[in-house]
Each structure stands twice: as C-alpha cells, then as structure tokens.
Copies of this chain bind each other. A is one copy, B any other.
Amino acid sequence: MKFTIDKKILLDNLVNVTRAISTKNVIPILNGIKMDLTEEGLYLTASDSELTIKTFIETKDIKHVDTLGSIIIQSKFILDIIRKLPGEVVNFEIRDGLKIRIYTDGSEYNLNCLNPVEYPQIRLEEVKEPYIIKSSLFKTIINQTVFAISTQELRPLLTGLNLKITGDILECIATDSYRLAKKIVKLDKASNDEINIVIPGKNIQELDKILDDEEDLEMHIFNNKVVFKYKNITFQSNLLAGTYPNTNNLIPTEFSYMINVDLHKYYDAIDRAALLTQSKDKNIVKMTVNNNEMTINSFASEIGKVEEKLVIESNNSTNLDISFSARYMMEALRTFKDEQILILLNGEVKPIVIKSVNDESLIQLILPIKTY
C-alpha cells in the first residue's frame, strides 16, 4: 500500500471513524483503524464491536495511488500526527510488512501496525428500502431527546433512545424515569412494518457529531442492529435487547393549569435560582403559581436565598406550589426554540409537562420532587 492524499480529506474521515473507538476497549486490535486501499478507493473502518463506523474516499479524491493494500494503524496519536504534519498532502507507505511510513517533506513517522487479517469480520448490511430522513431533522430529534436518556445501568433499556415507526409517524422517546422527552415527526413515506427499537445512547451521541450537513440519512433497521448511511459514512450500531416500556399513559393529556410563559425569562429565572440550592446534583427549586404571578424560590443554608418573580398567563387562579430539579427543567427548556411556552400542571405531585404554544411535536415531562 502506497498513496498520497490531501491532509484535510483524510483527517475529516479519520475524525469520523475514530468516534467508534472506545477508551474502555480491551481488545488490542479494536484500538486500530483498518485502512483498505482498493481499486475503488480508500476504506477506513473502526469499531468497538457495538458501534462500527466505516468511511470511503473515492480514488478520484486521492492525490496519487501507487500500490493497493490493507493495514491496521493504531488510532492512538494518529489524529494529532496527521493534524500536525506540515503541508497540504501526506504520504502513506507500508514498509517491512507491518510498519507504516507516514511522511511529508522533512517529517517522517514510522508506526507499528497490526495485521489486517486479524481484524474481526464486520458485516455492514443494507435493506432494500431504508427509511430516509433529512440529517438536520434527525439531528434535531436527537438533541431534543438524548439528554433525558438514563446513565444508570440498573435499567439497561433506559440507557437507549426508543425509536418507533407506525405508518408514516416516527416517535422518539427517552426517559430516565424522572423525566421524559418525546418527539414525533412525520416521515415522507408510510412504512408497512411496525418498528420499535432502542439504540444505545452513547452511539446516538456519536451519530449526532457526524451529522453536519443537510443531506439524506438512510436508516436500515435489522433485528439486532441499525445501519445509518450518511454521505460517505456507514454507521452501524447494535440495538438494546428487550421491549422499551410503554410510556404513553405516563403523559397526561388534560391539565388543570395551563400556564403561558416567556421561555427565556423563565429559563434565566431558573438558572439564577439554581445558583443557590441545597445539593448540587438535585438542585431543587420551588415554583409558586398565584394568578398571573409566578415565583421561583430556592436557598442554600449558610449562603442565603433567592426569589424570582415572573408575569405569566394562567387559566387557573388557585395557588399551586411545586418543586422540581432546576437542571432537569433547564435541559428540557433548551430543546424549545419558541418565544412562549406552555407549562402544564395537575397538582404538586403530578408530572410537569412543557410544550410549545404552536407545535405539538415535542413534549417534555418532569416529575416533581416532594420537599416536605
């Protein structure tokens, strides 16, 4: 294998494949990146066995191909090496079997490599008719839900993002059992199959980093894995086994309080109240609704207390006190782009639901915290 390639093209692709490499991985060969230079072009593959990312650079985008071949380079340092090399192009050459020479004028790295025949066989399959969704829309879906995914391994399914397709409706749900985020979008084409899968949260977060343009994202769904195809990238994630809990009946549809509030003023008030709270992880604040005034209170013993007042519109003049995690509320609020939002309540121990005034596609739910 010997070739010359534009540094920026190679680097962009290496950055994307290295997202599959896990720092927790203990299998030496999976710390490597497989490079296959074929007649068609250069394939780069990296995997942590649960996530595999493969990219492809066409021959026409490679400056010069001398000889074809395969090798596994160690991923450690490789991004820094390519980034720091001088000049616009970089040369690769396999030497003495399992060594690679990476060089430009005056600069030369000789790196030990691994044998490509030892790399696990990873099949990246395709279905005939994948679901197609705009990458920017899918990125929005991820960002509006992924933060609510559980980080507790106690209930493994909750560490994933639930994707359901029925007809032309795609539903995306994340919950850690204290809060829930749900996004509904309409697909361009109806599906004949009922889809209900759970994609590991950490893999979805890596996919989010890869999606940068407004392009078609293909979703190929199998029994135990999902393959996303995006530009020159193939992204294969395992699925979490089991059936995701049905969350539909957790989300109330009728509310005794419908409160209309300015999103940014509400967010900033909670942000300020959160500065003074009892414990840093729970950071509980108390919200009081009293006619057209909302008060947000919190305190930190020894330090002091804070009180925020906001003008609201409410359909209910009865007083209500409700306490919740400021962090959870702020994470939920960040998913809205509107000027005004609706805060929907049924009482001090009932879920808090946040919705956009105009757009029904996004629902955020937070459970209150009892403070007595």
Contact = CB atoms under 8 A, between A and B. Distances in A.
A116 B276 CA distance: 23
Nearest to A309: B106
A304 B109 contact: yes
Interface in A185-235: none
A287 to B, nearest CB: 14
B306 A109 contact: yes
Contacts of A111: 303-304
B112 A74 contact: no
Contacts of A110: 304-307
A303 B106 contact: no
Interface residues of A, number: 31
Given A86-B268, A107-B269, A275 B305 contact: no
Contacts of A86: 268
Interface string A61-98: 00000000000001011001100111000000000000
A112 B303 CA distance: 6
A310 interface: yes
Given A106-B310, A309-B106, A304 B272 contact: no
Contacts of A304: 99, 109-112
A12 interface: no
Contacts of A254: none
Nearest to A109: B306
A339 interface: no
Interface of A: 74, 76-77, 80-81, 84-86, 99, 106-112, 268-269, 271-272, 275-276, 302-310
